[in-house]
Amino acid sequence: MKRSPKKNAPSSSVDLLALADYVEQFSSKTVVLFGDFVADEYQFGEISRVSREAPVLILRHRETHFAPGGGANAANNLAALGTHIYPISAVGDDPAGDALIAYFRSKHVDVSGIFRVRDWTTPTKTRFLAGWAHTVGQQVLRVDREPQSPLPEAVRKKLQARLEGKLGSAHALAVSDYGFGVASPALLRQALSKQNGAPPVTLDARHNLHDYAKAGITSATPNEAELESLHHVAIGQNLGELTRCGAATLAAMKLHALLVTRGRDGMALFEPGDQLTQISVYGSDQAVDVTGAGDTVLAAYTVALACGASPLAAAHIANIAGGLVVMKRGTATVTRDELLAVLRRQAGGAAS
């Protein structure tokens, strides 16, 4: 008969100053980010009138805003956290690819691992936001542009060679697989097999998480919906179902830890030995915008592990980072200073 998972100590017993010490070390670590780069484009407009051609709103264009999305957002969050980030990815030889490379150059990030691919489309999500003057725009439409062909084999070989070359000097590897063909279990397995003592390897995969079972992953950060899809169940408030699915994935992938993000229900951390820790959501459970929150969690969790934090300590840091970023509009980041301010303020309150 399977034992019920043991619950670790509640969040209130976490050593907040110890967490702050890990965050202080972020700037001394190098993290390789390998995965799909996505361009997030925001088209803002004021509602002009209803069209005579069809029952749709006509927007008077006000401005266009660009932000890194997908794996590029995870890389951007790592940079904001003060980490030395080396991204390895591919983009199309198109305006969206140009914008992503220009953005990271402006952040003084080494872009030599971002390969341009001719006749390939940079994944782009264009969101149209409508509102009246002096009101907050609401998203009314999203248009996605995706690659229509797989990455050329020559590009995949370049990605693998660059990954193998950079892993030796990295304190951690974060893999962000949005299903656009940059990251693959086979490529990752080959690259990691050539490492002598690989660093922590974290994974955020939108689809087919279990395909990475033998790829050398040490931690994964799926959200609850992805875990449900993986096991073909609905979890909701059913702790038993959450426990069963989490434990099954942890065992199937032979992970050191599985961190499941659950929106307003916080996080669930699974570790070997039937250990399950539930972490309450940080801040308000009424998020302003959850776009890209999983990328922030992956970034904060990965660099905390790179600093030597336990999976539980890293999960608490990632939980705070995720709670901060969902209170910002659009694809956003959390800085190291923001994290430190929260930890020190909470530590001061706990001590008083």
**CA–CA distance, 226 with 199 (Å, rounded to integer):** 25
How high is the pLDDT of residue 7? Answer: 42
Q: How many CB atoms lie within 10 A of CB 16?
A: 21
Residues 102-143 pLDDT 10s: 999 999 999 999 999 999 999 999 999 998 777 778 899 999
Burial 147-170 (b: 16+ CB within 10 A, else e): beeebeeebbebbbebbeebbeeb
**CA–CA distance, 101 with 108 (Å, rounded to integer):** 11
How high is the pLDDT of residue 136? Answer: 77
**CA–CA distance, 233 with 214 (Å, rounded to integer):** 24
Q: How many CB atoms lie within 10 A of CB 343?
A: 23
How high is the pLDDT of residue 8? Answer: 40
CB 293 within 8 A of CB 323: no
**Architecture of domain 6-38+72-121+149-351 in CATH?**
3-Layer(aba) Sandwich (3.40)
**Token pair for residue 278?**
């539930």
CB 43 within 8 A of CB 61: yes
Q: How many CB atoms lie within 10 A of CB 277?
A: 22
How high is the pLDDT of residue 52? Answer: 93
Enumerate residues 6+ apart whose C-beta is below 8 A from 39.
Answer: 66, 68, 69, 72, 96, 97, 99, 100, 122, 123, 124, 125
Is 295 one of the catalytic residues?
yes
CB 221 within 8 A of CB 301: yes
**Token pair for residue 97?**
């690819």
Torsion angle of the four alpha carbons 65, 112, 170, 290, in this order, in degrees rounded to the nearest 10: 10
Residues 191-249 pLDDT 10s: 998 888 779 999 999 988 999 999 999 999 999 999 999 999 999 889 999 999 999 99
Closest by CA position to 253, among listed 320, 203, 196, 321: 203
User: H helices of 120-253, where?
Assistant: 153-167, 185-193, 224-231, 239-253
How high is the pLDDT of residue 313? Answer: 97
CB 215 within 8 A of CB 192: yes
Spans in the chain with pLDDT lower than 50: 1-12
Which residue of the set 36, 40, 94, 295 is catalytic?
A: 295
Element (H, E) at 20: helix 16-24
CB 72 within 8 A of CB 12: no
Element (H, E) at 257: strand 257-261
Q: Where are the domains of the chain?
A: 6-38+72-121+149-351
Q: How many residues does the chain have?
A: 352
